[in-house]
Amino acid sequence: MERYDEPWFHQRLKRFLRERHPHRQFRETTIIKRSRLAYEVYANRIRDGCSAEIALRKADERLFRGLLFSPFDTIHLILATDYPELGRRQRYELTIRMLKLFVPLFSQYRLGDDYAEREAFQKLKRALRERIRQWMLENGIKE
């Protein structure tokens, strides 16, 4: 069985941030604080008699609060789905470029952890798909 201690939560959060929010800079103190709080939630739940599964779920809620929706992921997945011929590195680089270009579009929506479950997410994805398609054509990447 895996051991869920404070360093484990720290590594889990760092890996998550690297994959889902590579464009954002997070202070190590923020990562340490979130990891410590998540571990405390986990340890307290275990001490209260919860199963490891439930304790871990509650700790994850604390660890990832405010980070579940990722504009990076959204753009990256659209590129992967709509333009599968792009290489991994090219897709990553385009995603980083497009994040900056589409800040005004993302700012029109109230983004949050539950955003992917809301109807407005479908509207955002349609708008992103259209803007991505237009940008790809204008920049000669895709015809």
pLDDT at position 143, please?
A: 57
Mean per-residue pLDDT, 33-46: 96
pLDDT at position 1, please?
A: 55
Q: Are 66 and 113 in contact (CB under 8 A)?
A: yes
Torsion of CA 111, 116, 117, 118, to 10 degrees: 50
Q: pLDDT of 4-34, one tens digit each?
A: 999 999 999 999 998 888 877 778 899 999 9
Q: pLDDT of 52-69, one tens digit each?
A: 999 999 999 999 998 888
Q: Are 71 and 106 in contact (CB under 8 A)?
A: yes
Mean pLDDT of the chain: 90
- DSSP secondary structure letter of residue 117: G
DSSP H or E run through 130: helix 119-138
Give percent of the chain with pLDDT exceeding 70: 97
